[in-house]
Amino acid sequence: MSLMRGVLLALSENRRMRERGPQLWFVKRAARRFMPGETFEDMLTAAETLRPLGIDTVFTRLGENVTDAAEAASVTQHYLDVLYQIQLKKIRCEPSIKLTQLGLDLAKEQAYANLRTLAERAHATDNYLWIDMEQSHYVDVTLELALRLREEFPRVGVCLQAYLFRTKDDLVSMIEHGVGVRLVKGAYKEPPSVAYPAKRDVDNNFFGLSAAMLEGMERDNGFRAVFGTHDAALIARIRALAARAGVRPSDFEFHMLYGIQRGEQLRLVKEGADVRVLVAYGSFWFPWYMRRLAERPANVWFVLKSMFG
């Protein structure tokens, strides 16, 4: 891991910086590159702008490691409200949530109760529920709760991270049980005992897992194959593999983040790929933004540029 990446990821987990960072005006200004604004309405406006371009949306209200049950309940209520609004507006916009935002650090069963309420509402409003993946020590519990949810609700998906050694086995289990998978490279600081330290190995593992996901489509059990990456070379390899295997481009998806690789998003849509963009909003954006900087440390220049006008 590069020194800069390590520093940025350490900052993302620093409690003081999580509180103070968002107050720094130049950081706030630079962060706007990756989020259209802090409110749900800002997210909706972005979603409405993307739709005519052929791009649907996934949305998330930023927040993690909630330490107060009332806050977890209020986050849950927020998602319950906006799921209705999305149905009324007839926008194709799927929620993606973090379990620690629903209170996982406080009590597993309470977090599950919140999650289940959201799955119920997502089901009732004909939507889909995505679960983000956080640090490696949350993987077991996240998959346990995703599987439990899938027993009741058919439209549930979870994020898996290609940098983890264990993901190959986790993927088999998710395919087996018809839980949708959004495969990403992984955004957190992980030790070499659990994750590939070299980017090349992560990329290779991602591609190997992609092949298993495309095969998983044959199961027809609700499994959904989503590749969450901006890596144009990897995307081209996955599309070529799918073409060779006879998997139609409309049977799998590419999800990217708002503000990253817009040209690639539009190019893929033009070529018939199914593309969604994840739009984040909310005021607790600091750790999330630090992870975006860590993914491409050159982004730090944007922060410096915004500092000097």
Where on the chain is the footprint of ligand FAD (CB under 6 A)? 132-133, 159, 161, 182, 184-188, 228-231, 255-257, 260-261, 278, 292, 295-296, 299
Q: Which is nearer to ligand FAD, 121 or 182 (CB)?
A: 182
Q: Which is nearer to ligand FAD, 249 or 259 (CB)?
A: 259
Cβ at position 246, least distance to ligand FAD in Å: 25
The string of DSSP codes covering the chain is --HHHHHHHHHHH-HHHHHHGGG-HHHHHHHTTT-S-SSHHHHHHHHHHHGGGT-EEEEEE-------HHHHHHHHHHHHHHHHHHHHHT--EEEEE-GGGTTTTT-HHHHHHHHHHHHHHHHHTT--EEE---SGGGHHHHHHHHHHHHTT-S-EEEEEETTBTTHHHHHHHHHHHT-EEEEE---S---TTTB--SHHHHHHHHHHHHHHHHHHGGG-SS--EEEE---HHHHHHHHHHHHHHT--GGGEEEEEETTS-HHHHHHHHHTT-EEEEEEEESS--HHHHHHHHHHSGGGHHHHHHHHT-
Cβ at position 185, least distance to ligand FAD in Å: 4
Tokens found for residue 56 = 């649907």
Q: Which is nearer to ligand FAD, 82 or 234 (CB)?
A: 234
Q: Which is nearer to ligand FAD, 69 or 204 (CB)?
A: 204
Whole-number Å distance between alpha carbons of 69 and 101? 10
Cβ at position 159, least distance to ligand FAD in Å: 4
Active-site residue, from 182, 224, 239, 292: 182
Q: Which is nearer to ligand FAD, 42 or 69 (CB)?
A: 42
Cβ at position 298, least distance to ligand FAD in Å: 8
Q: Which is nearer to ligand FAD, 116 or 182 (CB)?
A: 182
Bridge-based pairing state of the strands 93-97 and 129-131: parallel
Cβ at position 228, least distance to ligand FAD in Å: 3
Cβ at position 280, least distance to ligand FAD in Å: 10
The string of DSSP codes covering 283-302 is S--HHHHHHHHHHSGGGHHH
> What single-letter amino acid sits at 26?
F
Of 207, 192, 195, the closest CA to residue 166 belongs to 195
- Active site annotation includes 182: yes
- Active site annotation includes 56: no
Active-site residue, from 18, 61, 116, 132: 132
Q: Which residues are catalytic?
A: 132, 182
